[in-house]
Every structure is written in C-alpha cells, then in structure tokens.
C-alpha cells in the first residue's frame, strides 16, 4: 500500500467526507477499530477483477500496486511465507507494517484481514482476490475512523521470500548468466555484464535475439529493478526487470512489450565472474563508444583501430578533443591502452581498461583533467570493419552467408555479369530472388540496391561493403513491411569447378 492511507485520507478531506480529529482522539478510537469496521460508512462500489487462473505459488516476495481515488498508484511489498498449507505475510508500507496471519486459500481465491500499525494507530483492512502464476489481483477494503474505501490492487511476484536465498550482500558488479523460463516451458540463457561508474551502474544484456544497454539500475535493499529497450535487429522492444539479489544470485521477473503484446518471464541468475566480455576478438575497424558522465548524461565518441607493424593503433574522436592511440594491448579478451586527449592544446592523460568480444567493448576510462580525476564507464560497438583490399574481380558466382538477428546463418548465391562495363546480377536467397540492375564499384568498395521478390511481396534491400582477392564483406539492410533488419554479410567467389558442381546440382 505504501502511502495508501495518507493519500486516501487526503482525498477524503478534499471531498469533505472526513474530518480528522486530533492524534490523541485517534489513538483512543484505535482501540475500538473493530466497532468502526462494523459501522463503517458504505464505500462506492468497485467492480471486482476476474479470478486469475494458473498455478498457485503464493509464497515469495510480491510487489503490490493499489489504484488510489485520485488516479495515482501506491506501491508496497508483501512477503508471504508458507508452513505447509498455512500462509502468513508481512505487508511493508511507508507509514507502517501489518502482520498477516491466517491467509485463506481456496483454489485460486485468496482472502485475509489484518491491522496496519501507523505509529500506534491500528487501521483495519481486508483483502479479497485471486492469484495465478506470478500475478495477483483483488480489492483491498480499508476502514479509517468509520470511513470505508475500496481499492483495486494488482501484484507481481518478484522473487523468493526475503527469508530464503536472496538475502545478504548485494554486489551486482560482474558477469551474470541469466536463465529465463519461456512460455513454452523451455529456457533461454543470456549474459548480463554490469559495471560501476560515478553516475551509477551500467550494464550490457546479451540475449539470443538481441542486445540492450542498461542504465539507471535501481537498488533498494535487496530489491533490484531497471527499464531498458532491447534491439531485435533494429526493432526496439521495451523491457523491464524487477526482482531481488543476494550474494551471487538474482531472482525476478522480466516484462517484455512486443508490439503491444505483454510477456512476463521468470528469471534466475548466477554471477559467474568479474566484468569480462567473451567471444571472438575483432578490434580492427570503426567503433562507436558511449561514456556515462558524472551528471548522468552520455557522451558519444568514435574510435578507429588498425594494424601497423604488428601493433593495434588508432585514434579517438570525442566531444572535448582527439587522442592518438599508439598501441592497444590485448591479452585474450582483455584490452587496455594509455593516451592523451588534446583539448585545444591542453593535454588530458587517460587510461582505458576493459574487455572485448563479438564486436562489443566495455570498460572504464580513468581521466585526469588538470588534477581532477574521474572514472567513466564505457560501452562500445564495432560499427564497421576495415575494408578488404586486393584484386577486384567481381564477375562470376558468389556464395554469401548472412547473420540473422536470432544468431542463425542464411546462405545465398549471387551471380554477377559484366555487360559492356556495367555490372549486374541475380541474387537467390532463402526468402526469394532479386534482380540487381547495377553494382557500383569504387576501388575496393561496392554497393547495390535491389528488391527481393517474396512471392509477390517486394522487400527493398541495400548492400554496402568491400571486396578483394575473391572475398566480399559488408552489411545488408532489408526492409520487410516497414521493419528494417541490419544483416552482416560475408561472401566468397566460387571456383570454376565449384560453379560447375552447383550448376549440375541445380539441373538435377
């Protein structure tokens, strides 16, 4: 209920339905709250919500939200413990607590009554509702000095009881492995990397379908929550998490809103190590970096890395100046370097330490600006790999692999022809074919636009990349009914023998 009683009292005062007495009089009357409950003034009718269905799993920590008469909401915590078939609970609000005994459970229907202790004033209330899975709904009836109020409530189970495994020290910084229970009963495993910064915790969530950068993680005791958006191939999907943490464990509920369809999944997590990305180390190319500043805002920078004389070097362009990176040190997935940002002639030394994997980078910049030191959390993404070099020989048959948003690979074939110096081609994919009228070549850079015919539905496709020595790589952007997908593409030119085998296989 949180500040339910306080807000309700304010509403009653506003409409002239309540005249509060002195605190002393209220304390005298509190002893007779049962008589007040019997003679309480009738409350306006409230339509009860439908009875929930599903498994009854009442024990645990619940977040309860009550709808107040002024249209605002009040949130409180309800911790339910089980002793066999007997349930008891503690309701925690901003104004006081209520110990609840004798919770009645009949199928999915639950009922209980108790008194909330508001600094010695006992205010009676009753609850009638239902539960199913990790949801709860119903009506709370509150009686304060003979005035009755009915409040619709909704609840979500956010974790095990605080008396269970999710107590103890909360230390979120590190690498977590999360397991979400999907609606079909299967499990999906994701990685969550959380690091600390002056503006608070920031994290990167990597799932089977996409990734999300998380800022503004809220910690309240053992309760943990955050809101973000997950990038599903260019489609941004809102995601929120509410749960508890203790030691090396996380337990809670993830809520996803995909095109208006809400989905809730139970999530458990285990800390598996320090802050460290894993996966393929791909550093060369253009990076887009985000630094979280002490005031909570974000600064975007560009980093370009290349290999020279066996060393990884490059430069960094930021909003306050530029820096030359003489050498980036690489040890497995760990990366680090030291440099100076030239801020209009004033040199500001800094160091970066972090990790990289699968085109991502995270870490911390330690910056010294005229004796003022600050630590800035950094997240980054490889946005363009270095262009291919070597001989350009495009006419012929090519085999392409495209990495789809779900992590799978789609194989396509491209046949390029040279007609009086004009390159054109035919692209055959798993979803349809496209005629490419013109392929633009500028040195080792290539590009084209086309429409894939998916059974009469045309899907625009653009490709930009590079070629050299029988290889092509780049990025394709496919527009399917208004939804854009970015697809990394790699390709190899088929040898003459392979081309013959492919042609024979197609004719059989």
| Residue 175 or residue 329, greater confidence | 329
pLDDT of the residue at 21? 30
Three-state SS string across 373-396, please? EEEEEEEEEEEECCCCCCCCCCCE
Residue (of 196, 251, 261, 201) closest to 228 by Cα position: 201
Region 409-429 average pLDDT: 94
Cβ 97 vs Cβ 117: under 8 Å: yes
Residue (of 249, 246, 195) closest to 377 by Cα position: 195
Pairwise CA distance, residues 467 & 472, whole Å? 4
Long-range contacts, 487-490 (Cβ 8 Å, 24+): 487/402, 487/403, 487/404, 488/402, 488/403, 489/400, 489/401, 489/402, 489/403, 489/463, 489/465, 490/400, 490/401
CB burial of 312-340 (b: ≥16 within 10 Å; e: otherwise) equals: bbbebebeebebebebbeeeebebebbbe
Q: Give me the half-sphere count of Cα atoms (radius 13 Å) on the Cβ side of residue 50.
A: 3
- Residue 410 token pair: 């789609």
pLDDT tens string 371-413: 888 888 888 999 888 888 899 999 999 999 998 877 788 999 9
What percent of the chain is predicted at pLDDT more than 90? 35
Choose the most confident range, by mean pLDDT, from 84-98, 203-217, 288-302, 306-320. 306-320
**Distance, CA of 404 to chain centre:** 20
Pairwise CA distance, residues 117 & 222, whole Å? 24
Mean pLDDT of the chain: 82
Pairwise CA distance, residues 412 & 420, whole Å? 26
pTM for this predicted structure: 0.45
- Residues in the chain, how many? 508
pLDDT band at 166 (very low <50, low <70, confident <90, very high): low
| DSSP state string for 221-277 | TTEEEEEEEEEETTEEEEEEEEEEEEBTEEEEEEEEEETTEEEEEEEEEEEEESS--
How many CB atoms neighbour CB 101 within 10 A?
11
In order of start, what are the domains of the chain with their CATH numbers? Answer: 4-159 (2.40.128.120), 174-273 (2.40.128.20), 285-384 (2.40.128.120), 396-507 (2.40.128.120)
Residue 201 φ then ψ, to 5°: -80, 140
CA angle 39, 94, 243 (to 5 degrees): 120
Pairwise CA distance, residues 251 & 166, whole Å? 8
- Taking the CA atoms of residue 210, residue 219, residue 295 and residue 357 in that order, the dihedral angle to the nearest 10 degrees is -30
pLDDT tens string 204-257: 888 888 888 898 898 887 788 899 998 887 788 999 998 888 878 888 889 888
How many CB atoms neighbour CB 290 within 10 A?
17
Cβ 448 vs Cβ 465: under 8 Å: no
Q: Give me the half-sphere count of Cα atoms (radius 13 Å) on the Cβ side of residue 5.
A: 22
Cβ 326 vs Cβ 312: under 8 Å: no
Region 117-127 average pLDDT: 84
pLDDT tens string 59-79: 888 889 888 777 788 888 888
């Amino acid at each position: 209920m949180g500040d339910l009683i306080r807000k309700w009292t304010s509403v009653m005062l506003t409409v002239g339905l309540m005249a509060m007495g002195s605190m002393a009089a209220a304390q005298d009357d509190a002893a007779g709250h049962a008589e007040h409950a019997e003679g309480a003034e009738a409350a306006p009718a409230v339509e009860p919500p439908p009875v929930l269905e599903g498994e009854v799993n009442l024990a645990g920590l619940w977040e309860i939200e009550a709808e107040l008469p002024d249209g605002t909401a009040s949130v409180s915590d309800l911790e339910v413990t089980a002793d066999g078939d007997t349930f008891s609970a503690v309701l925690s609000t901003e104004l006081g607590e209520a110990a609840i005994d004798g919770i009645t459970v009949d199928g999915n229907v639950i009922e209980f009554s108790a008194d909330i202790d508001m600094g010695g004033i006992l205010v009676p209330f009753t609850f009638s509702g239902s539960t199913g899975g990790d949801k709860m709904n119903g009506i709370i009836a509150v009686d304060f000095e003979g005035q009755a109020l009915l409040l619709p409530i909704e609840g979500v189970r956010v974790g095990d009881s605080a008396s269970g495994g999710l107590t103890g020290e909360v230390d979120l910084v590190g690498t977590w492995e999360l397991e979400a229970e999907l609606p079909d009963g299967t499990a999906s495993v994701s990685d969550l990397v959380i690091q600390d910064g002056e503006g608070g915790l920031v994290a990167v969530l990597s799932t089977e379908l996409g990734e999300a950068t998380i800022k503004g993680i809220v910690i309240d005791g053992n309760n943990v929550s955050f809101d973000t958006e997950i990038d599903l191939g260019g489609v941004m999907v809102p995601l929120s998490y509410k749960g508890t943490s203790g030691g090396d464990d996380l337990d809670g509920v993830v809520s996803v809103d995909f095109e208006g369809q809400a989905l809730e999944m139970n999530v458990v997590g285990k800390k598996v190590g320090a802050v460290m990305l894993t996966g393929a180390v791909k550093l060369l190319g253009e990076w887009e970096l985000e630094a979280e500043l002490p005031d909570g805002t974000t600064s975007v920078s560009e980093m370009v890395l290349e290999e020279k004389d066996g060393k990884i070097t490059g430069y960094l362009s930021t909003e306050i100046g530029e820096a030359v990176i003489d050498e980036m040190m690489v040890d497995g997935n760990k990366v680090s370097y030291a440099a100076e940002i030239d801020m209009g002639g004033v040199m500001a030394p800094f160091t970066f330490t972090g990790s990289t994997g699968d085109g991502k980078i995270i870490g911390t910049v330690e910056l010294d600006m005229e004796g003022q030191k600050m630590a800035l959390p950094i997240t980054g993404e490889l946005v363009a790999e270095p262009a291919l070099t070597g001989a350009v020989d495009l006419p012929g048959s090519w085999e392409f692999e495209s990495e789809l948003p779900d992590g799978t690979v789609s194989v396509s074939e491209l046949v390029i022809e040279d007609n009086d110096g004009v390159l054109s081609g035919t692209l055959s994919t798993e979803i349809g074919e496209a005629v490419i009228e013109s392929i633009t070549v500028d040195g080792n850079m290539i590009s084209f636009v086309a429409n894939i015919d998916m059974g009469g539905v045309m899907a625009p496709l653009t490709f930009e990349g590079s070629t050299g020595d029988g290889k092509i790589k780049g990025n394709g952007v496919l527009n399917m009914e208004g939804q854009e997908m970015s697809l990394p593409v790699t390709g190899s030119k088929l040898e003459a023998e392979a081309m013959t085998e492919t042609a024979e296989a197609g004719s059989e």
